[in-house]
A and B are shown apart, each in its own frame.
Chain A
Amino acid sequence: MTKVKDATIPTIPVQARLSRWFGRNLIRIYAFFGFTYLFIPVAYTFAFSFNDSGKSNLIWKGFTLKNWQNPCGAPEICTALGNSIKIGLIATIFSTILGTMIAFAIGRYAFKGRSTSNLLIFLPMATPEIVLGASLLSLFLVFQINPGFWPTVIAHVVFCVSFVVVTVKARIASLDPRLEQAAMDLYANEFQTFRRVTLPLVAPGIAAAALLAFSLSFDDFIITNFNSGTLTTFPKFVYVSAARGIPAQANVIGSAMFFLALAIVIAGQLISKKTKVTK
């Protein structure tokens, strides 16, 4: 009798505790599955970069390092990568300059036509990529400009500018106006205030915007496909070779980009933490 009692009493709290633990951690468990979903294809891409696959990288055939040792081994792949990087860098420089100027105008000044300007910035983001790409191509066709490198750069600047404006504007809005007033009180003129106070404070926002612009440009397929003609970019290379199986070198480049970007972001966070501490 007593034995049975002893055995049943502790089981109730255990169950209760278990369900309470589950209830309290439900959202964490859910988040865990969410992250798993996000990372399954990334992990898959990374794993298959080590596949000793030959031409089509569909089935696991054994571990090898040779894809990593020879990332340009697949025909055309490094030309495509080079084009993507070149287009990305040029588009990033132009869109960051144009976008930052617009962000300062909209974020700093009250002027006639400000809400129209806001609308003009919002419109490219609300336009589906395929419409942006198709409309630009039809313009180039009218002026008999052949699709290729520069049309692609222009197309990328068009969709990157708005994202730069939004990112930089957010940073400008979060500035404490008293810092600039203090600089003026200390007899700095407008230009000095801008160069020594405003610009350094907005710089992290500009850096984030540039990083965003580059990753948008580097990863873009739809608009590029319309405006690049015979020029291959990395996403185009992947799309075209998807039909007959992607070479493992593409997985190598994708994974390398992943770790490189992750390192840049983490380094950026560490630097901003350090400057905060020293301040």
Chain B
Amino acid sequence: MRMSKTLSKVKLPYLLLLPGFLFLFTFFILPILNLAQTSTQTPIAGGDTGEYEQTLRFANYIDAFIENREQFARSFIFAICATLLALAIAYPLAYAIAFKAGRFKNILLVLIIAPFFTSFLLRTVAWKQILGEEGFVVPPLRTFGIISESTTLTSTSFAVVLGMTYNFLPFMTLPLYASLERIDPRTMEASGDLYANGITTFRRVTLPLSMPGVVAGTLLTFIPAAGDYVNAAILGNPNSKMLGNVIESRFFKIVDYPTAAALSFTLMAAILILVTLYIRKAGTEELV
């Protein structure tokens, strides 16, 4: 009796995991392995478009990278710009909610996630129209001579970065808020009592204590930003295409599965390497 009870207790966590992990194995691990397998295929000689065979051609990776190195670089530059901008906007925002909002704290938190509820595509298209020729930004800027008659704001890299910053801002703000909110205000008071001024207190007390939030927020912004192609498709131009745009068109328009797979893997590997380096450097291992 007791034997069977302890045995079932040992088994219980595995039983709880089983359905979910079976699902994730079938529809997450298996597809990734299959994608890996696709990435080294080559077209069948004399076959139709979209017919490939396994030839273990690892040079696919080199070809794909060289052919698309510009979009590759752009993906990472845009994603880093958007992440830094989002951090600069979100940190004071999270700080204000955590320490200055008083009884409005919960309402302001809801307002941070509220824009999520309008479809993100609608908001991105709204930016396109706001920044467009007939929006309410460009005409006044032209009248005051801040931008020239020929300058446009849409179809630029600037608009793509702005759109990405906007899209991922809540992902940055929420973890920042979560870690700022946990800081005991007395640690900041103590720093003040020890004659540190506001800047020193921030630099030596608040910022280090909020580092887990900074790391989580930057990751949650950077990862989707690097793989994004919607902002580039709606707000950009042919010269601001990102890797996501290439993968999408390889899949759907050119039916070049091996290149799309190789690019996907390169993107994923690059992100994982950057993220690992970053977490090491930031010294917060307990993210998951």
Q: Which of A8-16, A25-33, A71-79, A177-185 contacts B (4 or more CB under 8 A)?
A: A25-33
Residue B58 CB within 8 A of the other chain: no
- The residues of A that contact B288 with a CB separation of less than 8 Å are 118-119, 121-122
B230 touches A128 (CB 8 A): no
Contacting chain A: which of B14-22, B64-72, B138-146? B14-22
Residue A148 interfacial (CB < 8 Å):
no
Min Cβ gap B4→A in Å is: 14
Docked Cα-Cα span, A30 to B89, in Å, equals 9
Contacts of B159 in A (CB 8 A): none
CA distance A53 to B275 in the complex (A): 46
Q: Which of B13, B35, B226 contacts A108 (CB 8 A)?
A: B13
The answer to whether B166 and A37 touch across the interface, beta carbons within 8 angstroms, is: yes
The answer for the CA separation of A40 and B95 in the assembled complex, in Å, is 22
Q: Which residues of B contact A225 (CB under 8 A)?
A: 248
Check if B123 sits within 8 Å of A42, measured CB to CB. Answer: yes
Output the nearest chain B residue to A59 by Cβ-Cβ distance.
Answer: B134
State how many angstroms separate the Cβ of B172 from the closest Cβ of chain A.
11
Count A-B contacts at CB 8 Å.
Answer: 230
A149 interface residue per 8 A CB criterion: no
- Given the known interface contacts A38-B112, A158-B27, A262-B110, the answer about A128 and B19 at a Cβ–Cβ threshold of 8 Å is no
B7-31: contact bitstring with A at CB < 8 Å (1 yes, 0 no)? 0001011101101110110011011
User: Across the interface, do A131 and B38 meet the contact criterion of CB distance under 8 Å?
Assistant: no
Partner of A131, one of B12, B16, B264: B264
From 121 to 144 in chain A, residues with beta carbon under 8 angstroms from any chain B beta carbon are 121-132, 134-139, 142
Of residues 90 through 146 on chain A, the ones whose CB sits less than 8 Å from some CB of chain B are 98-99, 101-102, 104-106, 108-109, 111, 117-132, 134-139, 142
Nearest A residue to B21, CB-CB: A120
A30 to B10, CA, bound (A): 53
Question: Is B123 in contact with A41, judged by CB distance below 8 angstroms?
Answer: yes
Cα distance A82–B288 in the bound complex, in angstroms: 35
Contact: B34 with A222, CB < 8 Å? no
Q: Is A63 part of the contact surface with B, judged by Cβ < 8 Å?
A: no
- The interface centre, meaning the residue of B111, B117, B265 with most chain A CB atoms within 10 A of its CB, is B117
Q: Is the CB of B226 within 8 A of A221?
A: no
Residue among B21, B89, B100 having the largest count of chain A Cβ atoms under 10 Å: B21
Q: Is A52 close to B, CB under 8 A?
A: no
Partner of B19, one of A30, A59, A101: A101
How close is A34's CB to chain B, nearest CB, in angstroms?
Answer: 4
A50 within 8 A of B: no
B117 near A261 with CB under 8 A, answer yes
Contact partner of A42 among B23, B112, B118, CB < 8 A?
Answer: B118
Complex CA distance for A191 and B288, rounded to whole angstroms: 29
When distances are taken between beta carbons in the complex, the residues of chain A under 8 Å from B227 are: 128-131, 222
Please determine whether A266 and B121 come into contact, CB atoms closer than 8 angstroms: no
A residues less than 8 Å from B28 (CB atoms): 123-124, 132, 158
Distance from A85 Cβ to chain B, minimum over Cβ atoms (Å): 13
**Alpha-carbon distance A78/B48, docked complex (angstroms):** 38
Tell whether A134 pairs with B251 under 8 Å between CB atoms, given A45-B126, A158-B27, A258-B117.
yes
B134 to chain A, nearest CB (A): 5
Q: Which of B35, B97, B288 has the most CB of A within 10 A?
A: B288
Is A203 among interface residues, defined by CB-CB distance under 8 A?
A: no
B84 interfacial contact with A, CB 8 Å: no
Asked if B188 is at the interface (CB within 8 A of a chain A CB), the reply is: no
The 10 tightest CB contacts between A and B, nearest first, are A128-B227, A31-B96, A261-B117, A135-B31, A41-B126, A105-B16, A109-B13, A98-B20, A41-B123, A105-B13
Q: A161-B24, A225-B248 are in contact. List 14 more A-B contacts (CB 8 A).
A: A30-B92, A30-B96, A34-B89, A37-B169, A44-B126, A58-B134, A101-B17, A130-B247, A131-B264, A131-B268, A135-B264, A157-B23, A246-B122, A246-B125
18 contacts between A and B (CB under 8 A): A34-B90, A45-B126, A98-B20, A98-B23, A128-B264, A129-B228, A130-B264, A131-B265, A138-B38, A142-B34, A161-B23, A218-B119, A219-B116, A221-B230, A235-B119, A238-B125, A239-B234, A262-B110
**Residues of B that sit less than 8 Å from A by CB:** 10, 12-14, 16-17, 19-21, 23-24, 27-28, 30-32, 34-35, 38, 89-90, 92-93, 95-97, 100, 106, 108, 110-130, 132, 134, 166, 169-170, 219, 223-224, 226-230, 234, 244, 247-248, 251, 257, 260-261, 264-265, 267-268, 271-272, 275, 287-288
